[in-house]
Amino acid sequence: MAAKGFKDVNLDPSWAWARYEPGEARPWTLALAGHLFRRAAFGANWDQLQRALRAGPHETIDGLLRPGEAAVAFNRTYDAYETAEAGGQSVAGLRAWWLRRMILSPFPLLERMTLFWHGHFGIGNRRVQNAGLMLGHLRSLRAEALGSFGTMLRAIPYDPAVLLCLGGIANRKSAPDQRFARALLHNYTLGPGLFREEDVAEASRAFTGWFVLRGKLKYIAREHDEGPKRILGRRGNFAADDVVALVLDHPGTSKRIVRALYRELISETQAPDDELIAPLAESFAVDYDLSKLTETMLRSNLFFSPVAYRQRVKSPVDFAVGIARAWRRRSPRYPLPGQWRIWGSLFTSPPPWKASRAGGIGSTTPRSLEDTTWRPRCCGVRGPMERSSIPGRSPGGTNAPPSMPPRGS
C-alpha cells in the first residue's frame, strides 16, 4: 500500500515499523540526521550532526533515549531551581526555567515529550493561578513522558491543577460536575464517536466526592455516589480509578494515543489509516509503554522515509528552542517573555486542544509578525526585543544579560 502523494513509499505495516537499516538505496545522510534531531531533540548543532553521521542512526537514537547520568544530575539541579520559583500565582519564572531546561538539557527528548503531553492535556494557569500546582502538574507529566501512559492517566483525576483548570473543583453527589469526565473521554483518551453522553454523565458520578479546597485535593466520602453506574457498556459500583481502568481497557485509547504520537513524530500532513497503526496500537495497549512506542517510531523505516521527512511544521516553542540549541545560546533568567508568549505560551490558556484551531499553543500557523522582530535579536542584533527582556539571575547566581534566544535547526 503506497501513501497518497508518496507513490514510491510502501506503507505496509510490516515494512513501515521495521527497523531502518541504511544501505545503498537508502543511505544514512546528514539530512536524515537533522530530521532525527528536529523531531526528537528540538534540533542539533553542527558538531552533534557530524557525530550522528559517524555513529549511525541507531547509536544516535540510543543516546537520545538513554543519555546517562548527566541527565539525572541536570534534572535534579533544575528541579531545585523550579521549586524555588514556584511560590505565588505567576508562572513567569517557571516558564523561564522550563525554556532554559529545553535549551540546555542533555535529555532533550524528555523535554520534547513533556511539551507534547503539556499540549495534550492543555492545563493552563489562567484558572489555576498557582505556580506550585502548575509545577506539580508539569512534574507529573515529565515523570511519565517516556514512561507509562497508564500511570500518567491514573494521576490526572487527582491533580488539583487539572481540576482547577477544568472548573471541576467541587464534585458533589447531588450535582455531579461533568467537565472532567468529558475532558477525560473526549480530549485525553477515546475521542469523539466512541462514547455517549450517558457515559459522561455516569462517569461524572464516579468522580463525585473530590474537591479542591485552598489549592489542595480533598476527598469527602459522604459526597461520593456509591450507586451502580453503566460506563462504556459495563456496569458496576465504579469510582475514579475504575473509570480510568475502563478507559485504558478500551481499544480506542491506545489508537488515539498512537495517532497523536504519529502526528508528533512522523507526519501531520497525512493521517495514518487503521491498518498502518494497528500493530503499534495493539502492542501499546498491553502495557502503555511510551518509551517503547516512541523508540519504535524513531527507529522505523517510516520515520526515515519521505512520508515523515519535512512533513511537520514546528510549533512556535519548538522552533525557538531549536534555534537556541543549535547556536548553543543561553536563555536569560526571564527569556523574552512578551514575544515568546505571543508565539505559544507555556502554562497559559486556552488549552491547546481548544486553541489549536484558533492559533493557540498547538497551532503551527504563524499568527503574528512578531517573529521578524526577534530573529535579528537572537542573532546578536540589538533592537526592540531587548526592551521586552527582563534580566534576572542565571543558575550560577550571577546576573544574566537579557540577550538570548533562539537559533535554528
| Residue pLDDT, tens place only, 267-306 | 999 899 999 999 999 999 999 999 999 999 999 999 999 9
Q: What is the pLDDT of residues 207-249, one digit of tens each?
A: 999 999 999 999 999 999 999 999 999 999 999 999 999 999 9
Domain ranges of the chain: 90-249, 316-400
Residue bearing the bigger pLDDT, 315 or 206 = 206
Short-list 133, 129, 218, CA closest to 172:
218
Short-list 127, 142, 136, 143, CA closest to 83:
136
Residue bearing the bigger pLDDT, 321 or 31 = 31
Quick check: 388 pLDDT over 90?
no
Alpha carbon 106 to its chain centroid, in Å, reads 18
Average pLDDT of every residue of the chain: 83
H helices, E strands: number in the chain:
22, 8
Q: What is the mean pLDDT of residues 72-78?
A: 95
Categorize the per-residue pLDDT at 399 as very low, low, confident or very high, splitting at 50, 70 and 90. Answer: very low
Alpha carbon 241 to its chain centroid, in Å, reads 23
Categorize the per-residue pLDDT at 359 as very low, low, confident or very high, splitting at 50, 70 and 90. Answer: very low
Quick check: 104 pLDDT over 50?
yes
Q: What is the mean pLDDT of residues 254-271?
A: 96
